[in-house]
Amino acid sequence: METLGHLINGHMVHEGQRQQSIYNPATGAVARQVSLASVATVESAIAAAHQAYPAWRNTPAIKRARIMFRFKELLEQNATRIAELIGEEHGKISHDAMGELQRGIENVEYACGAPELLKGEHSRHVGPNIDSWSEFQPLGVVAGITPFNFPVMVPLWMFPMALVCGNTFVLKPSERDPSSTLFIAQLLQEAGLPDGVMNVVNGDKEAVDTLLHDKRVQAVSFVGSTPIAEYIYATATANGKRCQALGGAKNHAIVMPDADMDNTVNQLIGAAFGSSGERCMALSVAVAVGDATADRLIAGMQAAMSSLKVGAYTDSHNDFGPVITREHQQKVLGFIDSAEQQGAHVVVDGRHIEVCGHEQGFFVGGTLIDHVSPEMHSYKNEIFGPVLQVVRVKTMQEAMDLINAHEYGNGTCIFTRDGEAARYFSDHILVGMVGINVPLPVPVAYHSFGGWKRSLFGDLSAYGPDAVRFYTRRKTITQRWPSAGVREGVEFSMPTMK
């Protein structure tokens, strides 16, 4: 059985000490083994990045960007293989995996614009014959720690921008599904990246803690759950590093009485159940304004959910696949149980799904729960499964108060035709990413991704314009040249030279 190693200084490195199994969640079988890096291995990756830094930092931005142009081509040429690797270890259906890759490629495209993005500000004449300008210089070695749910896209949120800004990188992907991540890192080597500029270490907490404590690491980008994000942020900043740590979410959609209900239902189906709900931008709570609205919504969802197809990634007709592990499957089922016990009404029940030929897969069926209320366990926590809960309120203000009171503030959405409702909502909601009739308002790659409240720790959002600021340090130069130099002296000095 294949054992995955680490990409360090341009080469695959294997280490025998500790290993862990990677499962195919559609079958429940072990697919591969992965080495878990020791402190020494992580340090060798950091050392490689540290050594590669000076030359890379001195490479003009346009040349760094051109490697990204080539990387984009290779990602596109290898799309099918990448989607397969995602499917095998994550369980995502191929169309979903291709979508993930496409969103990742958009970040590579954005990174191709590095020369424009890295421009500083120049001021002639800030004082008598004094000029001043700013430069955005790279930080040095930076690290990324990424989650299982987007093994390709989330790494691509980080390293393309970090690299074109002139940094070198050490990435620790999720140990659940690292194959696709490792594969794209190898494509980046093939695109012409010098050895050591990009390194990948597989591992667990030992690897993470090594990255968090090593003095050579200047910054850490993290995406994962809120408790871990909080730990990463506190530890990294206490160690003098720059850090942005993105955590959990509980994304609400307000459904207004004037919403186009067909459209709303269509949108919610994908946003709630796509990728088995294992997305930090999954739409997991629908807040219906008025019982009439709620009733129409429930009826529409129930009808639409009857044709949802759940199964293995190998059949592209499936809508979504299994969740990542058996433990997680049990956790999701537990949330449904608890909602029921606390008085909610399970309208569509995905707890007892059987996928023919994949009886050992970690499947949960699409689940719709009505009459959920804010004190319920299933409402307070992020379920990260294919479960849509409906809360009924009387007014839009009540709906907004609910959202603003939740500890998370990642994404949210409103379904309405009314310009005023949309504007009031987007202005006053305490959430970082807002959709107007768009249930999954993930910003495009040329904007930035960031939640509010306990969904993001740090000042700057991920990817897009904020990434430039995160992955660079501002340097401001103020310049005055003393006069009476060669310019004025010429006429006088010339005769003496003859």
- Judged by CB under 8 A, the chain residues 242 through 301 that form the site for a copy of itself are 242, 256-258, 260, 263, 289-292
Q: In Å, how far from its chain's centre is CA 387?
A: 21
**Residues in contact with 324: Cβ distance below 8 Å, sequence separation at least 6, in sequence order:** 25, 90, 91, 148, 149, 176, 177, 278, 362
The answer to whether residue 134 forms part of the interface with a copy of itself (CB under 8 A) is: yes
Segment interacting with a copy of itself, rule: CB under 8 A, options 320-328, 337-345, 383-391, 421-429: 421-429
Dist. CA 447–CA 76, nearest whole Å: 22
Minimum distance, C-beta of residue 410 to a copy of itself, in the bound complex (Å)? 11
Give the number of other Cβ atoms within 10 Å of residue 297's Cβ. 26
The answer to whether residue 307 forms part of the interface with a copy of itself (CB under 8 A) is: no
The answer to whether residue 454 forms part of the interface with a copy of itself (CB under 8 A) is: yes
Minimum distance, C-beta of residue 259 to a copy of itself, in the bound complex (Å)? 8
The answer to whether residue 66 forms part of the interface with a copy of itself (CB under 8 A) is: yes
The answer to whether residue 215 forms part of the interface with a copy of itself (CB under 8 A) is: no
Segment interacting with a copy of itself, rule: CB under 8 A, options 33-41, 152-160, 306-314, 452-460: 452-460
Sole binder of a copy of itself in the list 69, 79, 325, 377 (CB under 8 A): 69
The answer to whether residue 405 forms part of the interface with a copy of itself (CB under 8 A) is: no
DSSP state string for 422-467:
HHHHHHH---SEEEES-SS-PPPTTS-B--EETTEESSS-BSHHHH
Q: Which of 112, 165, 243, 280 is catalytic?
A: 280
Cβ nearer to a copy of itself, comparing 51 with 137: 137
Give the number of other Cβ atoms within 10 Å of residue 39's Cβ. 14
Of 303, 305, 284, 295, nearest to 257 (Cα)?
295
Pairing relationship of beta strands 472-480 and 130-138 according to DSSP bridges: antiparallel
Dist. CA 328–CA 334, nearest whole Å: 10
Minimum distance, C-beta of residue 216 to a copy of itself, in the bound complex (Å)? 14
Of 355, 373, 174, 206, nearest to 278 (Cα)?
174
The answer to whether residue 401 forms part of the interface with a copy of itself (CB under 8 A) is: no
Any catalytic annotation for residue 280? yes
Minimum distance, C-beta of residue 440 to a copy of itself, in the bound complex (Å)? 9
The answer to whether residue 12 forms part of the interface with a copy of itself (CB under 8 A) is: no
Of 165, 194, 173, 169, nearest to 50 (Cα)?
169
Cβ nearer to a copy of itself, comparing 323 with 413: 413
Looking at residues 92 to 131 of the shown chain, list those that interact with a copy of itself (rule: CB under 8 A). Answer: 106, 109-110, 112-113, 115-131
Sole binder of a copy of itself in the list 1, 356, 405, 497 (CB under 8 A): 497
**Coil, helix or strand for 106?**
helix
The answer to whether residue 435 forms part of the interface with a copy of itself (CB under 8 A) is: yes
- Quote the tokens at residue 32: 């591969």
Minimum distance, C-beta of residue 455 to a copy of itself, in the bound complex (Å)? 12
Minimum distance, C-beta of residue 264 to a copy of itself, in the bound complex (Å)? 9
- CB distance 36 to 18 below 8 Å: yes
Segment interacting with a copy of itself, rule: CB under 8 A, options 30-38, 332-340, 368-376, 459-467: 459-467
The answer to whether residue 356 forms part of the interface with a copy of itself (CB under 8 A) is: no
Q: Say which residue the tokens 């994550």 belong to.
A: 90
Catalytic residue positions, numbered: 280
